[in-house]
Structure 1
């Protein structure tokens, strides 16, 4: 029996970056870009693909949230929408889907350990899906969608497009989220506070190397900005 791995496949669809993370026993070795080792053993990064065809399999759950991000190193600010899409094993009951989706998100954006850059965010996704938690969860996609300044107010009302670095040494921002499932909208709204200092992300070249212990350039850039 083939060993189960967690495979990450970066994709681009227009201006949307898509990170697909999946538990699988059927790895296509021809698509493998890099294989993790050490504490990242069992994690595989596939080659980047361009998404020309629509997704054939609808997600079971979807959770959307918006981040207003500030880079202390460059003083640039921007807003982006992020969508977490969840696929579960067949016959997973609805209450379990709701619980696992929310718990995955809650663990991902834990205020005490929230990743401060894209690389850390994706690493957290990989390690969470590799863990024994969320046993019914088989795939999670992250869509990263840049927002125009004019769209920001609708998602995060009351926050300026640009923030002064002095507002917070760790670049703390407000983000709201909304959860929905296939064929049903869930009235689930709240606000949390998370910290994020972005670095450039163009998978798989630089981010993949950092995820699997390569150059470490992204982390170094983020540390300079703190």
Structure 2
């Protein structure tokens, strides 16, 4: 996982499958997880050698965040951009992205906080969806309201 961009109201992260070099591990540019999270590497800085390509699939949804201290609600847009390994047939990519999304937002396992949400993304990609090559996540706060508005 690599932080891509951060502003006052948004955060963008990249979760991708990459080979970690010993050089970057020695420079203290990364945190290598162990135990239950073995195999997950957190990059502390964005690697500038990455190339930009158009995402193959994009999914977006909204959540309401509740401030535990004030009780105020903030609406947040969460966008997932998917890139797949080349061997995945084009006609299967939308199905894989949809299955990933369904599993991510299932009520029994939906994370309650940012760390849980990001961890869930990484673990799903690591354990159940080996055909996803890269996932970009944009978390963007939209507005603060007293109560959620029903559509």
Normalising by structure 1, report the TM-score.
0.57
In the alignment, does 2:107 pair up with 1:111? yes
In our comparison, the structure showing a higher alpha carbon Rg is 1
Q: Which structure would you say has the larger RCO, counting Cα contacts within 8 Å and 6 or more residues apart?
A: 2
State the number of aligned residues. 145
Instruction: Give the C-alpha shift of residue 49 in structure 1.
Output: 4.1
Aligned residue for 2:17, secondary structure, equals: strand
Instruction: Give the C-alpha shift of residue 88 in structure 1.
Output: 0.4
Aligned residue for 1:17, secondary structure, equals: strand
Which residue pairs with 1:37 in the alignment? 34
Instruction: Give the C-alpha shift of residue 19 in structure 1.
Output: 1.4
- The match for 1:16 among 10, 16, 20 is 10
* Contact map agreement 2:62 2:75 (CA 8 A) in 1: yes
Instruction: Report the Cα distance in structure 1 between the residues aligned to 2:20 and 2:45, rounded to whole angstroms.
Output: 18
Instruction: Report the Cα distance in structure 1 between the residues aligned to 2:150 and 2:52, rounded to whole angstroms.
Output: 30
Aligned CA RMSD, in angstroms, stands at 2.6
What are the ranges of 5 or more consecutive residues in structure 1 without an aligned counterpart?
Answer: 1-7, 150-160, 164-172, 177-226
Superimposed CA distance per residue, residues 130-157 of structure 1 (whole angstroms, 9 cap, x where no aligned partner): 11x22321111110111135xxxxxxxx
Taking the TM superposition and a 5 Å limit, the aligned residue runs for 1:1-226 are: 8-14=1-7, 15-27=9-21, 28-29=24-25, 30=27, 32-49=29-46, 56-131=52-127, 133-149=128-144, 161-163=145-147
